């Protein structure tokens, strides 16, 4: 009996020792479940739970904002709304239901949250820059414009571009000779643009008054309304908008879009840059910066046709700038800000902020579709005559060739009505691809 009791007593410590060993073995091989890891998981879950709602709310606010402000086409807004719905559904699926593949779901959820926040913040920044840039651009937004079109993205409109003879970097004076007189007719539905250049020395009645015969360039000395009224009477059109630029405008705008490529009909050199540098241009394509662009657009003495060829070069430059302005790269916030800032400093216009946004939105919606650019020039015969502005002596003038004027009239009517241009014209295609 004593031996049995003794034996039983001896087994008890052995069992206890074995159990202790088992505990040690189990603790070594058991997956850690300490507070440290649990806290880490909780932190990650908390990050996902906080970040994602912030991202979703920001994205929703962005969609509402651009819808009200009309920053993007409707199709883009619908796509963004669909993305918002998909993201919300995916995140809900990941954070609910069966607790399977928890680690994978947690990682995906966090990635979605971070991406949503980053994209939303970028979008808000983009819209802010976009809005501010356009607001800065529209210098004449406080002016009344009774001639504006109802919907600038659907209905044809006509713009008068006046290049004034001032060199002051940041000065757009109200009254100054207009050395550049270009009519731009736009049919947005057909994506067609017609530019018509009128020589500065055209001998025309100011304000359409036959008693006030003068050079077209002198009309600018009486204000832009005089220039517009004079050209309206000559071509039988009504201007909806205008844009007045100076020498510095050309330099800054071309530099802001990263330079342009122009096609020259001749080999020539020009000293008429803002810097005074003499630049040479070859026949064919030339990639130029702002200072070179000004020299290209101002030169006339190198050509037998003088101001006629200068007008063609100016039209070529407008087309080249338009080509860069409608390209996808220009829609990068920094590029938009740079271009609008450059324009706003040295440009005066009566385009409203809403109309500028409408045009940009329309171009974004039709990205990749081609624009057709057509150009014409009025012509005439050199002569000398007394002018309304300088009545004491005869000045060089150009008496209009009414056949070229009437041809331009017909072309303008064709663009506005959506018909084919009559007769011969210079045509080129510009793509936003």
CB half-sphere exposure, 7, CA atoms < 13 A: 4
Single out the residue of 369, 375, 263 nearest to residue 326, CA to CA.
369
How large is the greatest C-alpha to C-alpha distance in the chain, in angstroms?
151
Here the tokens at position 172 are 């757009």
**What is the chain's pLDDT, residue by residue, as a tens digit (433 residues)?**
445 444 445 555 555 554 444 444 444 455 454 444 466 666 766 766 777 777 777 778 777 777 766 666 666 677 777 877 787 777 677 666 566 666 677 677 777 777 777 777 777 776 776 666 666 555 444 455 667 777 888 899 999 999 887 665 556 777 888 989 999 999 998 999 999 999 999 999 998 888 999 999 999 999 999 999 999 999 999 999 999 888 888 898 898 888 999 999 999 999 999 898 999 999 999 999 999 999 999 999 999 988 889 999 999 999 999 888 777 666 665 666 677 777 777 788 888 777 877 787 777 666 667 888 999 999 999 999 999 999 999 999 999 999 999 999 999 999 999 888 776 444 444 444 4
Q: State how far the Cα of 124 lies from the Cα of 42, in Å rounded to an integer.
A: 30
- pLDDT, position 193: 93
Cα Rg of the chain, angstroms: 35
Q: Is 276 left (phi over 0), alpha (psi -120 to 50) or beta?
A: left
Q: State how far the Cα of 2 lies from the Cα of 61, in Å rounded to an integer.
A: 87
Q: State how far the Cα of 6 lies from the Cα of 239, in Å rounded to an integer.
A: 120
- pLDDT, position 171: 64
Burial 417-433 (b: 16+ CB within 10 A, else e): eeeebeeeeeeeebebe
Kind of pairing, strands 370-377 and 192-197?
A: parallel
pTM higher than 0.75 for the full model? no
Single out the residue of 61, 34, 43 nearest to residue 110, CA to CA.
43
CA distances (Å), 63 to each of 111, 115, 354, 367, in order?
A: 22, 16, 18, 20
Here the tokens at position 220 are 């600018």
Q: Cβ–Cβ contacts within 10 Å for residue 95, how many?
A: 14
CB contact set of 97 (below 8 Å; sequence gap of 6+): none
- pLDDT, position 97: 57
- pLDDT, position 25: 46
N- to C-terminal Cα separation, the chain: 104
């Amino acid at each position: 009996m004593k031996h049995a009791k003794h034996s039983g007593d001896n087994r008890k410590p052995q069992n206890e020792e074995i159990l202790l060993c088992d505990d040690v073995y189990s603790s070594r091989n058991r997956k850690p479940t300490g507070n440290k890891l649990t806290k880490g998981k909780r932190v990650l879950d908390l990050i996902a739970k906080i970040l994602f709602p912030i991202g979703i709310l920001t994205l929703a606010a962005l969609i509402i904002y651009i819808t009200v402000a009309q920053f993007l086409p409707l199709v883009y807004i619908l796509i963004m709304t669909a993305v918002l719905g998909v993201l919300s559904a995916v995140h809900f699926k990941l954070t609910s239901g069966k607790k399977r593949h928890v680690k994978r779901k947690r990682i995906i959820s966090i990635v979605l949250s971070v991406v949503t926040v980053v994209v939303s913040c970028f979008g808000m920044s983009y819209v802010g820059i976009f809005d501010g840039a356009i607001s800065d651009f529209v210098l004449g937004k406080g002016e009344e414009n009774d001639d504006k079109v109802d919907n600038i993205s659907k209905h044809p409109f006509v713009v008068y571009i006046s290049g004034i003879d001032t060199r002051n970097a940041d000065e757009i004076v109200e009254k100054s000779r207009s050395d550049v007189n270009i009519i731009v007719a736009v049919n947005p539905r057909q994506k067609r643009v017609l530019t018509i250049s009128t020589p500065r020395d055209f001998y025309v009645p100011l304000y359409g008054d036959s008693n006030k015969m003068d050079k077209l360039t002198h009309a600018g000395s009486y204000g832009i309304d005089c220039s517009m009224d004079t050209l309206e009477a000559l071509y039988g059109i009504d201007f909806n908008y205008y844009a007045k630029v100076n020498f510095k405008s050309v330099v800054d705008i071309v530099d802001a879009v990263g330079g342009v490529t122009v096609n020259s009909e001749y080999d020539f050199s020009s000293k008429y840059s803002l810097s005074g540098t003499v630049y040479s241009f070859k026949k064919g394509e030339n990639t130029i910066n702002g200072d070179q662009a000004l020299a290209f657009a101002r030169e006339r003495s190198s050509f037998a046709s003088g101001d006629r060829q200068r007008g063609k070069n100016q039209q070529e430059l407008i087309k080249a700038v338009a080509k860069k302005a409608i390209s996808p790269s220009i829609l990068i916030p920094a590029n938009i800000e740079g271009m609008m800032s450059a324009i706003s400093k040295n440009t005066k216009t009566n385009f409203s902020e809403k109309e500028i946004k409408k045009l940009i939105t329309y171009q974004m919606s039709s990205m990749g579709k081609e624009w057709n650019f057509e150009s014409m020039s009025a012509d005439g015969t050199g002569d000398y005559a007394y002018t309304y502005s300088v009545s004491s002596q005869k000045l060089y003038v150009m008496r209009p060739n009414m056949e070229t004027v009437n041809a331009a009239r017909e072309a303008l009517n064709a663009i506005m009505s959506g018909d084919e241009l009559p007769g011969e014209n210079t045509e080129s295609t510009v793509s936003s691809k």
